[in-house]
């Protein structure tokens, strides 16, 4: 078996295992890359390690460290609580506040997983007292968090934009964010229209407002440093990762947060997963396996249907797999070859479809966001009900995402 075929089999094996097991496929992918590169392709170990995404690794580590510090000292929790209180005690406004709060938190850096983890326990408590259906609360928080998940300064946005740049379709950070935001906003509006009629009309108890919202000097300083980092990245083109390390260093030096606690909160599993899969993809490209991969994808669609098809395929895989750790690193580099092989299509539209299609299904309880929502429900019967509801909703998003991408991805890419 040729190195090209071996590398493709290795990638497909990693994708399958990411869908069916709890194995961190980054570790497996790294081992596959070494074995295939060294013993099948005859390379030196240094040639395999050259595929390690050092820049991406530093960026992810820096960004997640900064927000881990803000989470460890309580800044993120208090900011989240303040945003939640904007509902003013009006039950039907509460779900909309959930969406906005999750979107804002996710957009400024922590990403969807951190935003949902911070908000969903409080949101479920407030929603329950206000008569908001648990399903609506879960959908508004999860879709809000996912809506901001591809901002230029979020960890997942960094992954998507860097992989697109690697595929020579970079420089579209605004469109990447907007396409993802618009798709999730549409879905959230539909969910609100469907389920908000069940929201109680009486004003809920305010016992839940005992959650801390006051900002101490440490919290205000942390927020100021974070805002300065965002301004530097967006307004002055500073390096996202290195500037995040600088901001984190300032917080640590002045004693605003405990770096030991923050380091324990870093998503090392995701970082290892992304890095390992990227190294394997580097081997795939150098051995010719990427050409085989794009040939397989090209058989599924033509130029007129590629946007919807790729959104459906990546959404289906992402229902069980990691969007940021597996789907985006594996599929975005294939875009130019895929478009060339099928004889048409807009590379940017295809990339946007991969981003949107793979993220729309993340409310599934088999994904981290959906699982966090289910875990926030203490009643066993209600938790099982929510699990089934989110499973149906999440799987239906494979079709919804495909339709949205088929209709609008090409239009947005040309805009």
| pLDDT 10s digits, 376-397 | 787 778 888 888 898 889 889 9
97 or 35: whose pLDDT is higher?
Answer: 35
Contacts for 48-55: CB closer than 8 Å, 24+ residues apart: 48/279, 48/282, 48/283, 49/279, 50/282, 51/278, 51/279, 51/281, 51/282, 51/283, 51/286, 52/275, 52/278, 52/279, 53/162, 53/274, 53/275, 53/278, 53/279, 55/162, 55/241
Find which of 22-31, 113-122, 265-274 is predicted with most confidence, using mean pLDDT.
22-31
Token pair 């599993």 is at which residue? 269
Q: Percent of the chain having pLDDT more than 70?
A: 92
Match 């949107």 to its residue by tokens: 356
Percent of the chain with pLDDT over 90: 38
Split at pLDDT 50, 70, 90, the class of 61 is confident
Higher-pLDDT residue of 349 and 370 is 349
The whole model's pTM is what? 0.73
pLDDT digits (tens, 9 = 90+) for 171-214: 899 999 999 999 999 999 999 999 887 775 554 444 444 566 68
Confirm if 26 and 273 have CB atoms less than 8 A apart.
yes
Q: In this structure, are residues 311 and 301 in contact, taking their beta carbons and an 8 Å threshold?
A: no
């Amino acid at each position: 078996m040729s190195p090209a075929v071996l590398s493709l089999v290795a990638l497909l094996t990693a994708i399958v295992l990411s869908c069916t097991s709890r194995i961190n496929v980054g570790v497996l992918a790294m081992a596959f890359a070494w074995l295939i590169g060294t013993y099948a392709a005859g390379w030196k170990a240094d040639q395999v390690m050259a595929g390690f995404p050092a820049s991406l690794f530093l960026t992810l580590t820096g960004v997640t460290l900064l927000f881990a510090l803000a989470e460890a000292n309580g800044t993120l929790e208090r900011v989240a609580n303040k945003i939640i209180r904007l509902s003013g005690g009006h039950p039907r406004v509460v779900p909309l506040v959930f969406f906005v709060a999750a979107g804002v938190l996710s957009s400024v850096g922590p990403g969807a997983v951190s935003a949902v983890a911070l908000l969903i326990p409080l949101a479920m408590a407030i929603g329950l007292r206000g008569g908001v259906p648990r399903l609506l609360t879960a959908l508004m928080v999860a879709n809000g968090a996912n809506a901001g998940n591809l901002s230029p300064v979020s960890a997942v946005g960094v992954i998507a934009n860097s992989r697109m740049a690697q595929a020579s379709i970079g420089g579209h950070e605004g469109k990447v964010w907007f396409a993802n935001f618009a798709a999730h906003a549409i879905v959230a509006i539909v969910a609100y229209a469907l389920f908000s009629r069940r929201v109680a009309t009486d004003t809920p108890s305010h016992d839940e407002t005992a959650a801390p919202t006051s900002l101490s000097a440490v919290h205000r300083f942390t927020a100021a440093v974070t805002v300065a980092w965002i301004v530097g990245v967006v307004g002055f083109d500073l390096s996202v990762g290195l500037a995040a390390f600088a901001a984190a260093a300032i917080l640590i030096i002045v004693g605003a947060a405990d770096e030991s606690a923050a380091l324990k909160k870093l998503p090392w599993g995701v970082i290892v997963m992304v890095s390992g899969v990227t190294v394997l993809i580097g081997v795939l490209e150098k051995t010719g396996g990427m050409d085989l991969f794009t040939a397989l994808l090209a058989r599924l669609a033509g130029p007129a249907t590629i946007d919807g098809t790729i959104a459906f395929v990546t959404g289906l895989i992402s229902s069980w797999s990691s969007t940021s750790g597996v789907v985006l690193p594996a599929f975005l580099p294939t875009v130019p070859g895929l478009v060339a092989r099928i004889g048409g299509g807009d590379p940017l539209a295809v990339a946007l479809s991969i981003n949107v299609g793979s993220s729309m299904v993340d409310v599934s309880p088999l994904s981290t966001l959906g699982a966090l929502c289910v875990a926030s429900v203490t009643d066993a019967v209600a938790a099982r009900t929510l699990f089934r509801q989110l499973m149906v909703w999440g799987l239906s998003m494979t079709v919804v995402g495909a339709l949205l991408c088929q209709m609008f991805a090409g239009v947005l890419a040309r805009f």
